Chains A and B, each alone.
Chain A
Amino acid sequence: MEGNVTEHRGTPSVIDRYFTRWYKTDLKGKPCEDHCILQHSNRICVITLAESHPIIQKEKKIQSVNYQISAGCSRLQNKVSGKSKRGGQFLTELAPLCRITCTDGEEYTIFSCIRGRLLEVNEDILTRPSLLLEKPSTDGYIAVILPKFEESKSVTDGLLSRAEYEEVVSKRTAVKPEPC
């Protein structure tokens, strides 16, 4: 069973039960800046850091998380209303969601990875950035995005499956003994 190797349990986890894992590696050409997209069977997507992301791999200490991606645009301003989620910001694949600054001075930008309407961002990581390291694929999520109904199948076309992602990561290890 995939994904629950670290959890000693006989049953699939919440993510295994309801979500499909998709990945995008080396975002914007930056090595190892991998993202994980959890797609629920109801088409909703949760954007998270992949386990191979430098922040997690190098167990970096996070100084701040900033959803203000430009002078005029903050993801914190995003508001949706009604069943149809009117008013949410519409994101394309390479729309930045937030910037994470680490105590070593490194800054990482997290991207949408998929087209869709921004439903919510995770305000908990503003006050508890450590969640990104402790629970990167659940409580440390970055954002929730709702793809268009007609794009719910095609939205993951450019992404890697779990198996493909694992292959990419294992090849990295083969090329360089010290990854990233």
Chain B
Amino acid sequence: MRKIASKDLGMLPLKEKDRPIVRALLSAGCCARCILRFCCIGLQSAYRQSYEDLMNELQTFVSAGGCGKSHDVADHEHTEDPPCKRVKLDTVEGDTEVVPHAQAESDLDTAEPKVCVVCLGVLQHFCDKTFAKKVSEAVTAEGYQFDSLVLSVSLPAQLSVREHSTWLLVKKEVREKGLCLGKDDVIQVKEAFKWIMNGLVSQELCVPVLAKSLFEVSVGFTHPETDGDCHFLATTCSDCFKPAKNKQSVFTRMAVVKALEKITDENFRRQFPCPPKCPTTRCTAQDIQCLHVSVFVAGRYNKFSRTLPQTPWVIDGERRMESSVEELITAPLLSAFRSEGFNFSSSGREDVDVRTLGNGRPFAVELLNPHRSQFSKEEVRELQEAINKSSDKIRVRDLQIVTRDAVGHMKEGEEEKTKSYGALIWTQRPIEKEDIEFIKDIKELKIAQKTPLRVLHRRPLAVRQRVIHTMTARFLDAHHFHLHLRTQAGTYIKEFVHGDFGRTRPNLCDLMKTDTDILELDVESVDVDWPPAVGD
């Protein structure tokens, strides 16, 4: 990027050697700001001038060149490739009947500027207070809570093709004048757009517009008229354009940029006009999209019901059971954070008929695109109360806002942790107190569990070794006792009790030497020490 040049060239930091470039770009149908970009002007304020002032200044600059001008232009014509010449004449023809040189130049003075051949109007018609107001109104209407924002721009892929074509034109001038500028020195359309718009949007919304922010406002442009510009690249660099599932077109910006890096200048010039053909329409701005990064909320839950699934239970598109732990917890969160969706995760899960008691099971909710994201500790506590008041089937504690990274702790060592369970056991053979006393003497019992039939449809078939650390039994009656177990996480308790067709060995039937079944199961503790306790 260059420093401000001598005064006699006016406001713009343009130098004598830029004159032929500016002249070439003007006659190619480039807009004033694209000309600054190709002259590698890094002075942001230059772009913020009104479009009319900027254009006038550039024209004055070109005219100030005096006799060099006509010579340069004439010279330019002689060296130009025939296809480019034709295109140039065509574009002029669109405006006036005759095509002499002098008249072509006088076109530049017309009040309504032609749509830029490079930016397709993005830097001409969408870089002013009017568009900044439009963006700001769209953002305000969404009702987000934010204290800064990042503006992102998505441009039609063909802009890169047109940029490349124009660069080849400039490159010729650059080479002839012995300047050492590369394509990377050219200011990007996106960059120029942000230099102008960041400040304008910031003024409208009264928050800083930064390079990074939790809140992103996206502006997208399309230009159907020139969508075909990219197509020739598919035959030249077919390996760059592979159909991907979730893409509407193979001509993504990335693919086009990659193809342009590969194609030779010669090949490109043969297949694409240089300078690019003049468009008749300007870009269309798409709807403004707002996105706030996810907020993560964690806590621990108890489940007191044996008819409440952890997540919505749907079979063949039909709802079984009316609610779920997930829904009970997330409903108040969704409305408080005004979030568009969520992802619920937990440290393991329990069956619909299993209660989770004790300190509860750690869980985390990712709130997607929350419109509100800042909550005081007191407000989070109130949210927890709201969840707990909404249902007596669950209870939440230690509710807190956490970072995305912290959620990883919940899944860490899920297999190594210990879990405690309480189970109501039925025995086929009548028992007496003494018949279950041996159970407490069993320590670190190794069992082999084939994937239970009940989950085999969605998990691989495998034999897993699990350890039952300790067990204690409490006699209830001749056919029932209460069994307390401390096991390695990932042990299937129900299958350990009934044996799952002998697919878990040894099982409680083997140990008791009679058929046993499990009538009730409670999770009594999940020994994961995350999230941290929240004090009062």
Contact = CB atoms under 8 A, between A and B. Distances in A.
Interface of A: 7, 9, 11, 13-14, 18, 40, 42-44, 46, 80-83, 85, 119-120, 122, 124, 131, 135, 138-139, 141, 144, 146
A144 B458 CA distance: 14
Interface string B498-511: 11011000000000
Contact of A46 (B453, B457, B517): B453
A9 B456 contact: no
21 contacts: A7-B428, A9-B426, A11-B517, A13-B517, A14-B517, A40-B457, A42-B455, A43-B457, A44-B456, A46-B501, A80-B461, A81-B460, A82-B460, A83-B459, A83-B460, A85-B460, A122-B501, A135-B502, A139-B501, A141-B502, A144-B453
Nearest to B479: A9
A22 to B, nearest CB: 16
B456 A131 contact: no
Contacts of B458: 42, 83
Contact of A11 (B426, B453, B456, B502): B426
Given A81-B460, A139-B501, A40 B517 contact: no
B454 interface: yes
Contact of B502 (A40, A42, A44, A131): A131
A147 to B, nearest CB: 10
B461 A40 contact: no
Interface of B: 426, 428, 450, 453-461, 479, 498-499, 501-502, 515, 517, 519
Given A120-B461, A139-B501, A139-B502, A18 B456 contact: no
B501 A138 contact: yes
A42 B517 contact: no
A114 to B, nearest CB: 15
Contacts of A44: 453, 456-457
Contacts of B502: 122, 124, 131, 135, 138-139, 141
B501 A42 contact: no
A65 B458 CA distance: 30
Contacts of A18: 454
A110 to B, nearest CB: 16
Given A42-B458, A46-B501, A120-B461, 11 more contacts: A7-B515, A9-B426, A9-B428, A9-B479, A11-B517, A14-B498, A14-B517, A40-B457, A42-B453, A42-B454, A85-B460
A81 B461 CA distance: 7
B321 to A, nearest CB: 14
Nearest to B426: A9
B456 A119 contact: yes
A3 to B, nearest CB: 14
Contacts of B498: 14
Most chain-A Cβ atoms within 10 A of its Cβ — which of B458, B459, B479, B515? B515
Contacts of A82: 460
A179 B458 CA distance: 42
A140 to B, nearest CB: 8
Contacts of B454: 18, 40, 42
User: What 5 A-B pairs come out closest when comparing CB atoms?
Assistant: A139-B502, A42-B457, A14-B498, A138-B501, A141-B501
Contacts of A42: 453-458
Nearest to A42: B457
B476 to A, nearest CB: 13
Contacts of A81: 460
Contacts of B456: 42, 44, 119, 144, 146
B457 A146 contact: yes
Most chain-B Cβ atoms within 10 A of its Cβ — which of A11, A14, A138? A14
Nearest to B455: A42
A65 to B, nearest CB: 14
A83 B462 CA distance: 10
Nearest to B353: A17
A44 B500 CA distance: 13
